Amino acid sequence: MARLLVDERDIKFVLFELLKVQELCQQDRFSNWKEGAFVLLLEEARKFAEKRLFPLNLEGDRIGVRFDAGEVFAVPGTKDSYRDFVDAGWLTPCEEEAYGGQGLPEVIKFAAHEIFFAANFPFMCYVNLTHDAAKLIEKFGTSEQKRLYLDKMYGGQWTGTMALTESSAGSDVGAIEVKATKNGDGTYHLTGQKIFITNGDHDIAENIVHMVLARIDGDLPGTKGLSIFIVPKYRLNEDGSIGQPNDVRCIGVEHKMGLSASPTTTMSFGEQGACTAYLLGRERDGIKIMFHMMNASRLEVGMWGQGICSASYLHALNYSRERKQGASLKDPGSSSQVPIIRHPDVRRLLLLMKSHIEGMRAMLYFCGYAMDRSAIAETAEEKTWWRNIVELLIPICKAYPTEKGVEFASHAIQIHGGFGYTRECPVEQFMRDSKAACIFEGTTGVQAIDFAVRKVAMDQGRVFQDFLSGMDKIVCQSSGWPGWEKYLTHFHKTKTALQELPAHLAEQSTRAGNFYSLLKATPFLDAAGDVFVSYFLLWSALAASEKLESLLSKEGLQDKDKDNEQRKEFIRRKPQAAYLAGKIESAKYFIGNVLPVTDGKIAAIRWGDSSAWEMEETFF
């Protein structure tokens, strides 16, 4: 059976050949781990994803969640799969042993999560929301709160949510109106509604613990006046056992374009005047506490986009090898039909997808790796450097792969033809499901503003400029490749143009107004994503080229002459050599076909048109 979720070879290549994450095992924090153990863990993740999660995803899309008499019922099989997932250690892989964790590097967890996301995002919502809610209690809770909640949440008996959104407060979190009123015993009484709450109610756990952003009665408007509260569905007895209902009620589920197996709920708190909430951390620190998990949460959503891209590509690739249609261009006299992968336009789409996926995977994993490096940094300067890299990459890692997820699901449908548009084919589900990723944890526009206005300006712009300048090292190391001169020249040209954009945006904003940077933010993020991905592809091509030459050298095929048929035959015949050669072609394709379009994106930004802002509303 073809592997239809992720390319394991590429995951291993990025982890162990490109990033060399096995070197993390030399640090005390990860000294109990070895490369072989990482490989075994990822293999187990693949098996669970293929055997349990992907079939559950397909079935879940057909069945959907059920809302009946104020209760939400998950897709059958979800509860057992969640229990087995937790028992396998996947809910807390990076936590300390005291919390049931294994002390795994974040980058390995993110690699496993790409596999899980490719198989079943609705299922992973239970995992990530529970983990993140528990992590906030671990970091900011009192000893009593930790005693009451952590074992049950990290142990999988209870799940968690993040209750942020309201009908009048979506991206504008500061407009939240849910109110908390102080009781005389240190607790609070909560009243109001939250909408679009993922997993706000379900039947897979004994209790659901909501992290709710609310405003204490009398506190200032805006984000500075927000606090965060622990609000369990059922109150707890002193011994930690489940007590009476806590006046938390689901009053409806959304009927969505996709993600049918993920309950998106409207939650009512305190309808009967009896919703008890427990302050987490200090009053008015709600946004500060919530943003503690924001980078990891946004990277997780980017991983989901990556997973959708990967599954879409591999389904399309497999179909293109099996589906026969049309004659061969190489043998026009033959009446035999050929697999559609032999047709130029299909190959173009496949390589467009392949090159992006490989570059995005390297970028996403690098961001996770930077989190690990920051955690083990020995000096404040080193820690700051890695933290800044994470901050710079997060908006792109969240927005760029999720937008590509929609695009590549569409390409996969195109390659499948009419069959791809039917419910029998998984790729149509991929397209319906994928769009939500562009919205979760901050829309693409929000990420773009964060990138263009905040992240590019970090340390007076030096973080952005230094990251781009650091790419020159790979260009220099690759300069001796035969036939690569024009690719390297073009990459350097586009990268330099991107480096100059912040100065242009600053100049235009001074001249025209502050709106200008906001108007150009999304195109800027998109262009930066292209350049960042091309860099990681170029870096990957360098590593792949070195490894390929090593394989060829062992066979006595060191001669780099392109017409050396023995070399070509060896590469065609040996799967590992073919894979490495494919990595090199991915980089060439991206630089030769995507970056020229990026040049146009940058030119459009520099052209300075602001008609979208200047146009009167009535003109629309």
State the Cα–Cα distance between residues 39 and 26, nearest whole angstrom: 17
Amino acid at 441: E
Q: Please count the structural domains in the chain.
A: 1
Q: How is residue 162 written in tokens? A: 């993040």
By C-alpha distance, which of 224, 256, 236 is closest to 187? 236
Q: Can you name the residues that pair with 76 across neighbouring β-strands?
A: none
State the Cα–Cα distance between residues 255 and 65, nearest whole angstrom: 10
Residue 514's domain comprises: 479-610
Residue written as token pair 């589920």: 253
Tell whether 203 is covered by a domain: no
pLDDT in tens, 117-154: 999 999 999 999 999 999 999 999 999 999 999 999 99
User: Is 441 considered catalytic here?
Assistant: yes
With a CB cutoff of 8 Å and minimum separation 6, the contacts of 318 are 2, 4
State the Cα–Cα distance between residues 242 and 206, nearest whole angstrom: 8
- Across the chain, which has 620 residues, the per-10-residue mean pLDDT values are 89 98 97 97 98 98 95 98 97 93 97 98 97 97 97 97 88 85 96 96 98 95 94 96 97 97 97 97 95 93 98 98 91 86 97 98 98 97 97 98 98 97 97 96 96 97 98 93 93 98 95 94 98 98 95 84 78 95 98 98 96 95
State the Cα–Cα distance between residues 364 and 366, nearest whole angstrom: 5
Beta strands 179-182 and 207-216, pairing class: parallel
State the Cα–Cα distance between residues 175 and 168, nearest whole angstrom: 7
State the Cα–Cα distance between residues 189 and 216, nearest whole angstrom: 10
Tell whether 75 is covered by a domain: no
For residues 215 and 226, is the Cβ–Cβ distance under 8 A?
A: yes
pLDDT on residue 174: 75
Tell whether 590 is covered by a domain: yes
Tell whether 585 is covered by a domain: yes
Tell whether 296 is covered by a domain: no
Tell whether 285 is covered by a domain: no
pLDDT on residue 1: 46
Tell whether 79 is covered by a domain: no
Q: CA dist 526 to 165, 397, 595, Å?
A: 27, 11, 11
Select which of 441, 485, 555, 617 is catalytic. Answer: 441
By C-alpha distance, which of 9, 290, 356, 275 is closest to 140? 290
SS3 328: coil
pTM of the model: 0.96
State the Cα–Cα distance between residues 473 and 540, nearest whole angstrom: 13
